[in-house]
Amino acid sequence: KRIQTTQSMRYALSMMILLCPLPLLIILILSPTNNVYALHVVTEKGHQKQQSSRRGFLASGAISTSLLIGGNAQTAGANDETLLIPPPQPIPMAGVGGASLQPYVIERTESPWRAPQMTTKLGQSRIAARELSPLGQPLSPFADADVFYPAVFGGEWNVKATLRRKTYPYGFSFVPSRSLVEGSPRYRNENIDEATSYQARYISLDDRSKIIADRRFNSLSATKSYNQLSPVEAVVWDPRKDPTLLKFTFAAGQVSPDMMPIGPKRAEVYITARKKENGITNNGTGESSNTFAASERTRQVTLGAGTVVVSDTETITEYEIFSDGNSIRAVQRIAVYLTPNPNSREGMLWQQVGGKAIAFFDYDLEMQKV
């Protein structure tokens, strides 16, 4: 029978595991053991709701799985009040086959958002993709020092970013953090169709024809708007010396929602690959408009009190620049990758998916020049 524990039974269960014979130990290990969560999902075919359960999350943030095999691709309603946890998935085993594509999509159930047609090859191959390998455009001494944007980007912009869809190509079992299921990489409680406004700045260095993103200004503005648990206190970035490195210091003394103190943290973000592309599109009014696409892969190393967290992400954006030069519409995807640590469960999962992205977060952006 399936064994479910409560808070008061966990100590007793741990003692039983230590003292019980091997056959019973196997039963305990193979049985779901934490809280059972309800999930109402809408299948792509029949649009019928069903209720399912899976094990909870480990204290470290990794998702624990059972040995039951999950279903096919499903769409979870964005307005469901229950915790969005999928049916049980199999435990991935290193060296045994590869992960099958079993996407779970979280979006609004009525009139689901559909991204506009991508006009650049970069947008078509990475924003519209169902599976995604890491950007294979490593930096070299001969590459541009940064992503150079069209001259029209120069200045400050009011940006409204709306999360439209979350996709987990291989199911939730490969997602390393609960916050990526409940929210997004930007904010752990970000919901579908939730809009966040912030400012973005693009500056020129010595050559006025080369416009780059002001990463320090943009980072501070975005993290403040997304009201993160550990707000950024300072950003060190020297675009003339090394534009591919940012150093963050997070404010200490904050308290998490469960009233646990959050100690001081610092992080270093390395831009490890980038690519850009210019294009032209017809905006449906008979007039052509310029498009610009850019993608950057980053690795963030966060150092806390006795902890080191490494995360790999890629941000792909296709911009449509209107003829007045004061309005831009964009589609943006944040792809989350696992890190190839061979001594961790995440490293095993990374092998199973072949290093491909395990979560997509799709946004539409509206930008108005200040």
219-257 confidence digits (pLDDT tens)? 999 988 987 767 788 999 999 999 999 999 987 766 666
What's the Cα-to-Cα distance from 303 to each of 160, 246, 257, 285, rounded to whole Å?
30, 14, 21, 50
Euclidean distance between CA atoms 364 and 165, whole angstroms: 10
Euclidean distance between CA atoms 190 and 179, whole angstroms: 9
Quote the tokens at residue 195.
């809009």
The reported pLDDT for the residue numbered 57 is: 24
Instruction: In the chain, count H helices and then E strands.
Output: 6, 16
Collapsed DSSP state (helix, strand, coil) of residue 334: strand
Q: Which residues pair with 361 in a beta bridge?
A: 166, 334
Euclidean distance between CA atoms 9 and 4, whole angstroms: 9
Q: Which residue has the higher pLDDT, 29 or 183?
A: 183
The reported pLDDT for the residue numbered 270 is: 95
The reported pLDDT for the residue numbered 52 is: 27
Split at pLDDT 50, 70, 90, the class of 100 is confident
Split at pLDDT 50, 70, 90, the class of 44 is very low
Q: Is the pLDDT of residue 136 over 60?
A: yes
What does the angle CA 41 – CA 339 – CA 236 come to, to the nearest 5 degrees? 110
119-148: b or e for each residue (b if 16 or more CB lie within 10 Å)? bbebbeebbebeebebbebeeeeeeeebbb
* Mean pLDDT confidence for 298-320: 92
What does the angle CA 322 – CA 324 – CA 329 come to, to the nearest 5 degrees? 30
170-193: b or e for each residue (b if 16 or more CB lie within 10 Å)? bbbbbbbbbbbbebbbbbbebebe
Split at pLDDT 50, 70, 90, the class of 200 is very high
| H-run or E-run covering 104 | strand 104-107
Max avg pLDDT among 7-16, 105-114, 339-348:
105-114
* Mean pLDDT confidence for 109-116: 89
Q: Percent of the chain at pLDDT above 90?
A: 47
Euclidean distance between CA atoms 24 and 70, whole angstroms: 25
Helices 10-19, 22-30: inter-axial angle, 10-degree rounding: 140
Euclidean distance between CA atoms 336 and 356, whole angstroms: 9
Sign of the C-alpha dihedral computed for residues 121, 127, 131 and 132 taken in this order: positive
Q: CB of 149 within 8 A of CB of 212?
A: yes
| Among candidate residues 330, 314, 369, 37, the one with its CA nearest the CA of residue 162 | 330
Sign of the C-alpha dihedral computed for residues 262, 226, 312 and 76 taken in this order: positive
Tell me the average pLDDT of the chain: 74
Q: Percent of the chain at pLDDT above 70?
A: 67
Q: Which residue has the higher pLDDT, 83 or 209?
A: 209
The reported pLDDT for the residue numbered 145 is: 82
